[in-house]
Chain A
């Protein structure tokens, strides 16, 4: 078997653009899923019971469905449900955000639950409302505690963005597969893909580890 690595170089612009799309999808998904995760976690913890039930149902639905199914589902159902012709990018982003928000909500809920009750009481004894106490005192401690979990979610998400290739979002996996199909250079393209995912994923994981050490709260 002979290898022809020139195929990678020949398509470097397309691969670079696709890598950019993968990074963009990851960042955009987290930009939605972190604040939404906090909101869903807060609803599950503090809201009026029926609202709490809806939040719980949401989490349990999306946490227990395969992501690829959610991607397909968003692709076929969202246009009918919303009447909008969403781009593949928007559709893929919606599917990823729905999934990761559910995970983040559970992560934040666990983090908030791990802060002992006395902290909330100390804040409320100063005259803070429950919302102020959660925002100013509980949440900042919870976020620091769950940073390693958010980091894992981030790295998983970075790789899982490849699943939206099934609806033709031109991210790294889709573009690499397209090139493979055109050139029949299977091993070269798969290896190039693996290299890009790993080389980008590893430093991200390390970066978050560093943030975790830098901002950890000792008690």
Chain B
């Protein structure tokens, strides 16, 4: 679906002039971006360009030093219950999975509903089983993370985020720590989620995913969005030299799949 068709979807996240500093290093220098309901927005660019930082600012794992981030028309609160309510509506998937190693796959997924939503044990575990089935891991429910492959761990992490029934999913380089042969299984789960209409913000180095699944692509460099637009524009007709340069270094020369 094109962005134009989806722009009827309400704007769900709005970044305006977002600034983030670490000491004297400016990680984000005024970022503007909109995310609409049902859209898949991919953030691409070189390492250290600020895309992961922007994602982490979205659910306030990092605080911002300037500008504003709005979720459904209201500023992201800095702390307290209001922030926790926003966080549980934004599922997050990390590069290093961050599954809880002392809990089985089932209990990893049930933990959020149990602790945050105060679901009864049976109810939380039923939901966890349904989510594991959704990511194709029903048979791994009783495994501990250490007994799962990287791809399986990341799928459990996606199930864990989905168990909170989020309105938006944030993916922070979800396949960067994976062996090449398990990347596909994670991307397939993400594609299926996008097809269901989940709103997704994805930091990624997987250009094929950004091109085929993304509705909107933002190219980051040195803490700014240098160029943003539909994937067709970014990959086939990049308007800035910097974007062309980046894509050519990835071995992408504009050919379609």
Contact = CB atoms under 8 A, between A and B. Distances in A.
B88 A126 contact: yes
A118 to B, nearest CB: 4
B116 interface: yes
B84 A127 contact: yes
B18 interface: no
Interface string B102-128: 100000000110011000000000000
B112 A119 contact: no
A137 B61 contact: no
Contacts of B69: none
A124 B112 contact: no
B12 to A, nearest CB: 17
Chain A interface mostly: helix
B100 A128 contact: no
Interface in B86-102: 87-88, 90-92, 94, 96, 98-102
Interface residues of A, number: 20
B112 A126 contact: yes
A127 B161 CA distance: 10
B152 to A, nearest CB: 15
Interface residues of B, number: 26
B34 interface: no
Interface in A121-145: 121-129, 132, 136-137, 140-141, 144
Contacts of A137: 100, 111
A128 B94 CA distance: 16
A122 B101 contact: no
Contacts of B102: 140-141, 144, 217
Given A136-B115, A218-B146, A219-B146, A128 B98 contact: no
A124 B61 contact: yes
A122 B164 contact: no
Contacts of A136: 111, 115
B111 A129 contact: no
A132 B59 CA distance: 18
Given A218-B146, A219-B146, A126 B101 contact: no
B146 A129 contact: no
Given A127-B116, A128-B115, A136-B115, A122 B87 contact: no
A121 B98 contact: yes
B87 A127 contact: yes
Nearest to B95: A118
B160 interface: yes
A123 B88 CA distance: 10
B85 interface: yes
A112 to B, nearest CB: 14
A126 B87 contact: yes
A128 to B, nearest CB: 6
A104 B164 CA distance: 36
Contacts of B116: 126-128, 132
10 A-B pairs with least C-beta separation: A127-B88, A122-B98, A126-B112, A125-B92, A218-B146, A127-B116, A118-B98, A127-B87, A127-B84, A219-B101
Interface of A: 118-119, 121-129, 132, 136-137, 140-141, 144, 217-219
6 contacts: A119-B98, A119-B100, A121-B98, A125-B90, A126-B88, A126-B115
Interface of B: 59, 61, 84-85, 87-88, 90-92, 94, 96, 98-102, 111-112, 115-116, 144-146, 160-161, 164
